[in-house]
Amino acid sequence: MKNILHYILLLALGMLGWSCEKDNYEPPSSQLTGQLLYQGTPLQLQHDRVSYELYQDGFGKRGPISSTFTTEGAFSHLLFNGLYKMVVPVGQGPFVWSGSDQGDTLLITVNGNTEMDIEVTPYWMVRNSQFSASGGNVTGTFGLEQIITDANARTIENATLYVSKTIFASSENNIAIGTIEGGAITDMNSISLSATVPELVPAQSYVFARIGVKIAGIEDMIFSPVQKIDL
């Protein structure tokens, strides 16, 4: 009986030591940061909409780290050093990888704090957006540039001025909109949209505005930078 108790005690101590050793693994400490760019210009996206996945073999975890790009196309993670795959799921994002023969997949080597901006090619870009407010109306003027013009080119379904009480102006977060259908645009270099701001409760002396463009066959929109406008 004493031998059995002794064996159980040794087993328990061994398991406790293994547990402590496992818990004492160094946590991830390498910061991976980056941004989606087109010719050095950050891509403007919808908040918490365009998703991506990071994969790394080992550390007992083979599933992805799932996240979304910020409204300015940025990403940030604390990771272990090693080789990662960044994957944008099929149908995500108003862009394609630039010069990639692996589809929407990119290899990233993390070794200490690592900054890696990613050049992508959007279908369209919003250019020269400017916003103003007068008499309770917000007006946005802008141009649209088609970037992908080959067999993968896509037309514009519509362009929309989104006005919001927060910086996350979009189809899901707005207090006023103004829209034009793609077929009604006569000059891609000079487009103007207006929206009437309702009474704000609680009162607020400013709003935020940005242009969003829906591309045919693409779920995610491309946007202009958001701008704060005093009323």
The reported pLDDT for the residue numbered 26 is 77
Calculate the average pLDDT of the chain: 87
7 falls within a domain: no
- What value does the mean pLDDT take over residues 58-75? 83
Is 137 in the same domain as 110? no
Asked if 135 and 210 sit in the same domain, the reply is yes
Domain of 211, CATH number, reads 2.60.40.2060
- Domain finish residue from 122, 141, 167: 122
Q: How many domains does the chain have?
A: 2
- Report angle CA 104, 110, 115 to the nearest 5 degrees: 80
- Residues 6 or more apart whose CB falls under 8 angstroms from that of 49 comprise 68, 170, 220
Q: 10-41 burial string, b = 16+ CB within 10 Å, else e?
A: eeeeeeeeeeeeeeeeeeeeeebebbbebeee
Which of residues 81, 96, 122 is at a domain's end?
122
The answer to the question of residue 115 being in a domain is yes
Nearest Cα residue to 148 out of 71, 53, 222, 225: 222
Residues 143, 169, single domain; the answer is yes
Least confident of 25-39, 54-68, 84-98: 54-68
Examine the domain organization and report whether 68 and 149 are in the same domain: no
Contact 48, 166 (CB under 8 A): no
pLDDT tens-place string over residues 126-180: 999 999 999 999 999 999 999 999 999 999 999 999 999 999 999 999 999 999 9
Which residue range is the domain that position 164 belongs to? 124-230
Same domain, 134 and 171: yes
Q: Which long-range contacts (CB under 8 A, 24 or more apart) does 52-55 make?
A: 52/86, 52/87, 52/88, 52/89, 52/92, 53/86, 53/87, 53/88, 53/89, 54/79, 54/84, 54/85, 54/86, 54/87, 54/108, 55/84, 55/85, 55/87
Mean pLDDT of 182-189: 97
Phi, psi of 6 (to 5 degrees): -65, -40
Which of 6-20, 25-39, 102-116, 203-217 is the least confident region? 6-20
Q: CA 194 → CA 40, 77, 83, 163, 176, distances in Å?
A: 30, 39, 48, 10, 9
